[in-house]
Structure 1
Amino acid sequence: MKDIFGKAILDYQQGNYTEDILTETSISEEDVLPVPYLFRGYDQMPEIEQKALELCKGHVLDIGCGAGSHALYLQEERKLKVSAIDISEGAIKACKKRGITDARHTDIQQLQNEKFDTLLLLMNGAGMCGYLKNITSFLQHLRSILNKGGQILLDSSDIIYMYDEDEEGGKWIPADMEYYGELEFRMSYKGEKSDPFPWLYIDYNTLQNAAVANGFNCELILEGEHYDYLARLQPVE
């Protein structure tokens, strides 16, 4: 898979920033993801991200760390032990250049035989599930790398608002969709397009049901202004 994300991040860091990342999904038009936003400081982060960083404890694993802004804050300001992982090689190179001590180019599913106190999945980190049918195996894997008393902090959005309403106030959901939060996502940058990939937006009730079914307590920590939310999952001991 082309590393569109990593290329844009490295360009920005090396002073070659001339344009932003373009994103599009199977249900939305092309949108702009400003590359500088990926390098934001704590003060520029939305309240949901700030709250998640406040709740981090112990050894933190930042999953899908991107340019490393969350990990860097936790390492430098909170003085926590942080490991940062991403499937983007370019993103991890950027993290290392920014001074993140433990930054690894790897997939969360490949991580074995380690334990963490906080698993952090921000910027819709649950999206890496791809499909709702994968949520059980995803949560079970996360549980396997949590220390006793550990926690998962993740944010996502309920995107039902993006679908058209019928005359009775119901929503038009395509018949071929298993779940309305399953999208096909694509990125482009400097004339280069990524292959399409699945991405999951999961509403809180669906997440809570999946969490309980897999032995977690699920707590709604904060709701944002754009149908987004922060949740904390903790294994039932």
Structure 2
Amino acid sequence: MKDLMGQAIWDYHHHKNADDLLTETSISEIDELPVEYFFRAFDDMNLIEQKALALSKGKVLDIGAGAGSHSLYLQNEKGLDVLALDFSPKSIEVCQLRGLKNTGCSDILQFSGETYDTVLMLMNGTGIFQTLDKIDLYLEKLHSLLKKDGQILIDSTDILYMYDRDDDGGVMVPANHYYGEVDYFIHYKLDTEKPIKWLYLDFETLKRAVENNGFKIEKILQEEDSFLARLTKK
């Protein structure tokens, strides 16, 4: 893995003049993603992120921490014991340089350690599940990382709106896979990362999956096509 997103985060932290990241998916055109977005303060975060951070408590695991902005808020403003976890080495290096006390560089499936009161999975947290047929594997892992009365705060977006409709109003979704499974591409400074599988979930599909894996679920917040959910152990 080239770690282009981590490189962009590292460049921005050190020089403040990183090029924009360019992202695209198998169903969308190239879009610019300014790297400074990963360094935003609480007031610049969306309502779903703000609500999740407000609900975070106890010992926290922040999965997919990126530049560490969520973790820094929880550590510095709420005084919580938080571990920022990301598989991007350069992102984790920046998290440390920004003052995070506890960090880990690992894929979630290879990560092991303690159990947590709050597991945070934001910025389309369901993306790390990759595909529907892998979701049980990830949910089993997450179940093992959660304290008995702990919570997982996770967000996602129902991307059905991105598909064309036929003359009768029916949505033209793929016949051979769930419509929220996409290939995700990152471009940075004329280089391209190998595409990753990324999963956007509608709430009902997420609900069925988590209930089959020992969790209860409640929808905390809905913002247009995106939502924040809380998972707790049954």
- The two structures have a TM-score, normalised by structure 2, of 0.98
Distance of 1:231 and 1:34 partners within structure 2: 27
- Structure 2 portions without partners, runs of 5+: none
Q: Does the residue aligned with 2:167 lie in a helix, a strand or coil?
A: coil
Q: Does the residue aligned with 1:30 lie in a helix, a strand or coil?
A: strand
Distance of 1:118 and 1:18 partners within structure 2: 33
Which amino acid in the other structure matches residue 166 of structure 1? Answer: D
The equivalences for 1:14-25 within 5 A come to 14-25=14-25
Distance of 2:156 and 2:134 partners within structure 1: 16
Which of 217, 231, 234 is equivalent to 1:233? 231
Q: What's the C-alpha RMSD, in Å, of the aligned pairs?
A: 0.9
Tell me if 1:89 matches 2:89.
Answer: yes
Tell me if 1:184 matches 2:183.
Answer: yes
Which amino acid in the other structure matches residue 231 of structure 1? Answer: A
Q: Which residue of 1 aligns with 2:116?
A: 116
Asked whether the 8 Å contact 2:62–2:82 carries over to 1, the reply is: yes
Q: Does the residue aligned with 1:222 lie in a helix, a strand or coil?
A: strand
Counting matched residue pairs gives 234
Residue 96 of structure 1: how far off its partner (Å)? 0.2
Asked whether the 8 Å contact 2:24–2:186 carries over to 1, the reply is: yes
- Structure 1 portions without partners, runs of 5+: none
Q: Which residue of 2 aligns with 1:125?
A: 125
Distance of 2:50 and 2:18 partners within structure 1: 29
Q: Which residue of 1 aligns with 2:6?
A: 6
Residue 110 of structure 1: how far off its partner (Å)? 1.1
Which amino acid in the other structure matches residue 215 of structure 1? Answer: G
Question: CA-to-partner distance for each residue in 1:57-80, whole Å, 9 max, x for gaps?
Answer: 110000000000000000000000
Give the stretch that moved more between structures: 55-64 or 103-112: 103-112
Distance of 2:18 and 2:145 partners within structure 1: 40
Residue 175 of structure 1: how far off its partner (Å)? 2.3
Asked whether the 8 Å contact 2:18–2:35 carries over to 1, the reply is: no
Distance of 1:98 and 1:210 partners within structure 2: 36
> Percent identical across equivalent pairs?
51
Distance of 1:157 and 1:18 partners within structure 2: 28
Residue 147 to residue 22, structure 1, CA distance change in 2 (3 Å): same
Q: Which residue of 1 aligns with 2:193?
A: 194
Residue 113 of structure 1: how far off its partner (Å)? 3.9
Residue 16 of structure 1: how far off its partner (Å)? 4.8
Asked whether the 8 Å contact 2:152–2:230 carries over to 1, the reply is: yes
Q: Does the residue aligned with 1:14 lie in a helix, a strand or coil?
A: helix
The equivalences for 1:128-139 within 5 A come to 128-139=128-139
Runs of 4+ in 1 over 6 A off after TM superposition: none
Distance of 2:218 and 2:165 partners within structure 1: 30
Question: CA-to-partner distance for each residue in 1:79-121, whole Å, 9 max, x for gaps?
Answer: 0000011011110000000000011111111122421111000
- The two structures have a TM-score, normalised by structure 1, of 0.97
Q: Does the residue aligned with 1:114 lie in a helix, a strand or coil?
A: coil
Residue 113 to residue 67, structure 1, CA distance change in 2 (3 Å): closer
Distance of 2:221 and 2:16 partners within structure 1: 37
Which amino acid in the other structure matches residue 211 of structure 1? Answer: V
Q: Does the residue aligned with 1:234 lie in a helix, a strand or coil?
A: strand
Q: Which residue of 1 aligns with 2:55?
A: 55
Distance of 2:54 and 2:172 partners within structure 1: 39
